[in-house]
């Protein structure tokens, strides 16, 4: 199983101006660096929480047709864009929506509702394309935006690499803010 980003988000959930206000930075001398810290913080929050903050398209690749429920590794999911099985010629064959049930949102999952064609390759023969992320920056919960700002501020204040005398850790507040949105599976 692998996960591949097909289309990255067009914008970030926190603007440069919002982050600069949080950092109390009033000049534009470091806009490039602050933007880099912002993007890194967003990706780190997404990775720590199994989240997608802004709309983005992903592909989950499986080796075989699922026999039971497949939980998608990111949330929230707003759409299943395509499910395809790779045939003997290497071409994707669409799986009709009537052959699977999908649950979108915070706990996204797909369950086969009928027999799918069997993939020809033994590795990577099933592709599930989906759109994950909140509808826009206004829909992203404020707690997640705050986690991004706090983490970006930590990056801004601690620019040097960790060493023997200095070990970098993520502020505990970030994990506390992400926790309610993180999917826990038993």
Least confident of 60-74, 92-106, 107-121, 123-137: 107-121
Give the pLDDT mean for 149-169. Answer: 77
Q: Which residue has the higher pLDDT, 160 or 162?
A: 160
Total count of domains within the chain? 2
CA angle, 62 then 130 then 135, to 5°: 155
Q: With beta carbons less than 8 A apart as the criterion, state whether 134 and 140 touch.
A: yes
The answer to whether position 66 is within a domain reads yes
What three-state secondary structure class fits 29? coil
Q: What is the pTM of this model?
A: 0.89
Give dist(CA 115, CA 132) in Å, integer. Answer: 26
pLDDT tens-digit profile of 64-80? 999 999 999 999 999 99
Question: Same structural domain for residues 96 and 150?
Answer: no
Asked if 41 and 86 count as a contact pair (C-beta separation under 8 A), the reply is no
Domain identity same for 81 and 124? yes
Instruction: Assess whether 95 and 147 both reside in one domain.
Output: no
CA distance 124 to 121: 7
Percent helix, strand, coil in the chain, to 5, is 30, 25, 45
pLDDT number for residue 44: 95
Question: What pLDDT does 170 receive?
Answer: 77
DSSP letters spanning 124-142? S-EEEEEEES-SSGGGS-H
Tell whether the model's pLDDT for residue 23 goes beyond 60. yes
CATH code for position 174: 1.10.3230.30
* Same-domain status, 49 and 22: yes
Res 122: pLDDT: 74
Asked whether the predicted pLDDT for residue 165 surpasses 90, the reply is: no
Residues 119-139: what's their mean pLDDT?
A: 92
| CA pair distance 42, 38, nearest whole angstrom | 6
- The fraction of the chain above a pLDDT of 90, given in percent, is 81
Mark residue 29 as left, alpha or beta (left: phi above 0; alpha: psi -120 to 50; beta: remaining): alpha
- 28-72 per-position pLDDT tens digit: 999 999 999 999 999 999 999 999 999 999 999 999 999 999 999
81: domain range?
A: 57-132
88 pLDDT band, cuts 50/70/90, is confident
Q: What confidence category does residue 100 fall into, taking pLDDT thresholds of 50, 70 and 90?
A: very high
Q: Is the pLDDT of residue 168 over 70?
A: no
Q: How confident is the model at residue 166, as a pLDDT?
A: 56
Q: Within this chain, do residues 125 and 64 fall inside the same structural domain, yes or no?
A: yes
């Amino acid at each position: 199983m692998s996960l591949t980003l097909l289309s990255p988000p067009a914008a970030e959930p926190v603007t440069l101006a919002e982050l600069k206000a949080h950092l109390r930075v009033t000049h534009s001398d470091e806009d490039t660096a602050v933007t880099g810290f912002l993007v890194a913080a967003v990706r780190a929050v997404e990775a720590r929480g199994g989240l997608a903050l802004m709309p983005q398209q992903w592909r989950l690749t499986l080796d075989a047709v699922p026999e039971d429920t497949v939980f998608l590794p990111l949330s929230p999911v707003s759409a299943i864009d395509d499910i395809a099985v790779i045939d003997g010629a290497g071409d994707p064959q669409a799986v009709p929506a009537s052959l699977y049930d999908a649950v979108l949102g915070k706990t996204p999952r797909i369950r086969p509702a009928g027999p799918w064609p069997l993939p020809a390759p033994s590795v990577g023969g099933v592709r599930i394309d989906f759109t994950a992320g909140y509808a826009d920056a206004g829909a992203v919960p404020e707690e997640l935006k705050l986690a991004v700002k706090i983490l970006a501020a930590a990056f801004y204040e601690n620019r040097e690499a960790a060493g023997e005398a200095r070990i970098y850790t993520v502020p505990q507040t970030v994990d506390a803010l992400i926790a309610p949105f993180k999917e826990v599976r038993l």
